[in-house]
Amino acid sequence: MRSFASLRTTGTPWLLLLPALALLAAFTHWPALATLWHSAMSTPKKARPSRFVGLDNYRAMVEDDVFWQALWNNVIFAAGTIPLSIALAIAMALWVNGRIRGRGFLRLAYFTPTVLPMIAVANIWLFFYTPQYGLLEQVTQALGLPSHNWLGDKSTVLGAMIVVAIWKEAGFFMIFYLAALQGISPSLAEAAALEGASRGQYFRRVLFPLLMPTTLFVLINALINSVRMVDHIFVMTRGGPDNASTLLLYYIYQVGFSFWDSGYAAALTVVVLIVLALVAVLQFGVLERRIHYR
């Protein structure tokens, strides 16, 4: 403040910001806007250059069953992944933060999936789910259950993906809860104990409300991840069988880089941008009131 004002030259901050802003503009702001424009253009073909087609791409989208399936799959994927991984993350954090035997090992076990590349662990899980040979099949066979092709069956493939996503994410979210738990004064628990509260009551009435900002932060991250996380699809199912495991971003990849239909891919990207904008509205409507950046 005070003495600072006189030392400042107006150009300096802009010079400092210039490189970062230029790159952000080129690879975030411009492509986001260009997507809107290109979604109203046709895909250039050999004889016909790209031309303005208005809402044609969106009209095609409304009639595209695969799009609706991908959108619906993504909703299920998010709804299946987020609550469970958050609940598990809270349980993990409470355990690892408590007086449990083998705390070091448990923290390691929970967190390890976070460090591994999704593309690599997807290979492991693919083997895990393999009919007849896979570990899962060996367990179900030992229990005398019928053989099942988890990734080859339309009704179980998305569930199998959700399991992988929960496994990958829960330990990551645990870290944020762990950090929050360590910021909570132990005297609160002592006071609650003196008042005769049970552990369950202490968790519901004291801990959980105190962890609310963390939960909202994690929720935003989880929502973004549910749009972004598609690497495992490439290895495990390629969207199949019959598009039963296609998620939006994976479909954009297919349309844009397998069918090379850039106009339609842009229109699909607009849908993803709208979803992300809704997440942002959620964040600024709910989260921002609780956490202040300054």
Partner 1 sequence: MPADAGSLPPPPAFGASPASHALETAAAWLLGLLWILPLAYAVWTAFHPSAFSTRFDPAAPLTLQNFVNAWHAAPFARYFLNTTLLVTMVLAAQLVLGTLAAYALARFEFRGRDLVFALILLQLMVMPDVLIVENYRTMNALGLRDTIVAIGLPYFASAFGIFLLRQTFKTVPRELDDAARVEGASALQVLFKVYVPLARPVYLAYALVSVSYHWNNFLWPLIVSNSVETRPLTVGLQVFSSTDQGVDWSIITAATLMTSAPLLVGFLLFQRQFVQSFMRAGIR
- Scanning residues 145 to 164, which ones bind partner 1 (CB under 8 A)? none
User: Is residue 31 close enough to count as binding partner 1 by CB under 8 A?
Assistant: yes
Residue type, 245: S
Q: Which is nearer to partner 1, 59 or 103 (CB)?
A: 103
> Ramachandran region of residue 48, left (φ > 0), alpha (ψ -120 to 50) or beta?
beta
Q: Which is nearer to partner 1, 25 or 55 (CB)?
A: 25
Residue numbers 259-278 binding partner 1 by CB under 8 A: 262, 265-266, 269, 272-273, 276-277
Q: Is 229 helix (H, G, I), strand (E, B) or coil?
A: coil
- Minimum distance from CB of 257 to partner 1 (Å)? 6
Tell me the torsion sign for CA atoms 145, 149, 155, 158. positive
Return the residue matching tokens 């150009």. Answer: 11
Q: Which is nearer to partner 1, 171 or 239 (CB)?
A: 171
Residue numbers 158-217 binding partner 1 by CB under 8 A: 167, 171-172, 175-176, 178-180, 182-183, 186, 189-190, 193, 198-199, 202, 217
Catalogue the E-assigned strands of 150-198. Answer: none
Candidate residues 70, 89, 121, 216; the one interacting with partner 1 per rule CB under 8 A: 121
Distance CA 85, CA 89 (A): 6
Residue numbers 59-118 binding partner 1 by CB under 8 A: 88, 91-92, 95-103, 105-118
- Eight-class DSSP state of 43: P
Q: Is 52 helix (H, G, I), strand (E, B) or coil?
A: strand
List CB contacts of 90: < 8 A, sequence separation 6 or more: 177, 211
- Minimum distance from CB of 185 to partner 1 (Å)? 10
Q: Which is nearer to partner 1, 41 or 244 (CB)?
A: 41
